[in-house]
Amino acid sequence: MKKCHLALGITHWVAHRLALPITCEFSFSAKDPCAVTLIFDAESERPVRWVFARELLAEGLTGLAGGGHAVLWPGTDASGQASLWVEVGAARTALFEIPAEPVATWLADTYTTVPRGQEMAGVDWDGLTQLIK
């Protein structure tokens, strides 16, 4: 089963002017083609894992996307490079700035694994129907 993985350094904005460098990991598996997993502070003793729609990530790279526990939007970092902002938590309590280019490249790779619109092509609908009878 094909998987896509990306690890990179990002910024956790702890406060308005307090930036903490951490690592994160994006992962995608054709076994769950609608979802991506994002692990914040991946190298720590207590990493935080978020699973959300792959389409949400795609939308967040180009415009404001999401609501509730996860909101994503494009921006630029202090040097003018494209970035992806991710705010997560029940009260949106954690804010992260992620370089957009490697994420966009990684996301494009996920679409070569499972093309957009084909996420449900491998579902055994007859088998699922039998489970609810």
Report the candidate in 102, 99, 107 with the shortest Cα–Cα distance to residue 75.
99
Q: What is the pLDDT of residues 109-121, one digit of tens each?
A: 999 988 876 666 6
Sketch the domain layout of the chain as residue ranges: 3-132
Mean pLDDT value across the chain: 88
Q: What is the pLDDT of residues 30-72, one digit of tens each?
A: 888 889 999 999 888 999 999 999 999 999 999 999 988 899 9
Q: Order of strands across the sheet with 48-53?
A: 48-53, 35-40, 18-29, 3-15, 94-99, 82-88, 70-76, 65-67
CATH architecture of 3-132: Roll (2.30)
The identity of residue 119, as a single letter, is E
Average pLDDT of span 84-95? 87
Phi, psi of 123 (to 5 degrees): -75, 135
Q: What is the pLDDT of residue 73?
A: 97
| Helical residues (DSSP H) of the chain, grouped into ranges | 54-60, 100-113, 125-132
